[in-house]
Amino acid sequence: MKAHNFRQLNIWKESMILVKMVYGLTSQLPDKEKFGLVSQINRCAVSVPSNIAEGSGRTTAKDFSRFLTISISSSYELETQLLIIEDIYTIEITEALHRLKDIQNMIGGFKRNIMN
């Protein structure tokens, strides 16, 4: 398998931008959510680029693919949590959701590419 420098991967770069967006969104949540939704959502957002980075250090495409699967799974969890804060707290998530959908598509495409 070709080695990948995670800092050069667009999926990692875009995921890092998303993390900043998500932290901005969770900062709008009430203090009572600090140890609930805020913590959970932020951890999910951080998980996406973190798993891409960790997978890039693996020596086989199969191993890397497993971490990409974890990353995309975290992105689906994050999507659900963003929808929850939109519904409960009427926080505007459209931009973050669009970026997240793009990242999900990019991860899927990248995963297919490394497995071929």
Hey, CA dihedral for 8, 20, 106, 47, is it positive or negative?
positive
pLDDT confidence of residue 115: 87
Q: State if pTM tops 0.85.
A: yes
Query: What pLDDT, in 10s, does the model give residues 87-113?
Result: 999 999 999 999 999 999 999 999 999
Q: Which of 62-94 are b and which e, b meaning 16 or more Cβ less than 10 Å from the residue's Cβ?
A: eebbbbbebbbebbebbbebbeebbeeeeeebe
- The CATH class that applies to domain 6-115 reads mainly alpha
pLDDT confidence of residue 24: 98
pLDDT band at 4 (very low <50, low <70, confident <90, very high): confident
pLDDT confidence of residue 102: 98
Q: Which of 2-6, 12-16, 37-41, 42-46 has the lowest mean pLDDT?
A: 2-6
What average pLDDT does this structure show over 68-92? 97
**Nearest in space to 1 (alpha carbons), one of 78, 56, 67:** 56
Residue 3: pLDDT above 90?
no
Measured CA to CA, the distance from residue 109 to residue 61 in angstroms comes to 14
The full 3-state SS of 50-81, as one line of letters, equals HHHHHHHCCCCHHHHHHHHHHHHHHHHHHHHH
The ranges assigned to domains in the chain are 6-115
Query: What pLDDT, in 10s, does the model give residues 43-67?
Result: 999 999 999 999 999 999 999 999 9
